[in-house]
Amino acid sequence: MASYNTSELKKGLKLQIEGDPFLLLECNFVKPGKGQALYKCRLKNLLRGTVIDRTWKSGDSVDAADVEEIDAQFLYKQMDNYCFMDNKSYEQYELTKDQMDDAWKYVKEGMECSMMLFNGRPISISPPNHVVLKVDYCEPAIRGNTATNLTKPVKLETGAEIICPAFINIGDLLKIDTRTGEYIERAKE
């Protein structure tokens, strides 16, 4: 198994601690006046989503996680399971709604996503940064409310609800930022 020396630690690395994959969120080098240098790190568990703090001495080694990212296409939703297909090997993977986190709000059939695998098992999915989704339901716009920055809740074709300007109507196509869940603009067909 590959490993990193503590001097190689930097934000974004994927490490394996006690059998679980972790994403390195933050790493600070600390040199006390006396003794060995320390690396104080903040890590996010990729399976559970919890965040922990760890400290390593300089010269220690940390195992690299067996994590790979693949391009996958969203095929369909069945109950609370989402089915994806690897674009290269055509192998199919299923993720639960819990594993999807908030990504379920932005995926629709045929969409290309980035899937993270740990030891060959899917653990998370990342939709594209910007997606275009159709408005399924919203309250009708009131004439004359286009000059102010009034907002209203809107239900999208995936079942997600977001806040949009008051001039949005049913059937409009909206460009959404999947990282923040915010409305960007109306999209053209």
pTM of the model: 0.77
- Token match 């996503």: residue? 113
Burial readout 119-151 (b: 16 or more C-beta within 10 A, e: otherwise): eeebebbbbeeebbbebeebeebeeeeeeeeee
Q: What tens digit of pLDDT does each residue of 86-133 get?
A: 999 999 999 988 888 889 999 999 999 999 999 889 988 999 999 999
What is the rounded average pLDDT of the residues 34-63?
91
Checking if the pLDDT of 145 tops 70, the result is: no
**Domains contained in the chain, CATH given:** 3-63 (2.30.30.30), 67-126 (2.40.50.140), 130-186 (2.40.50.140)
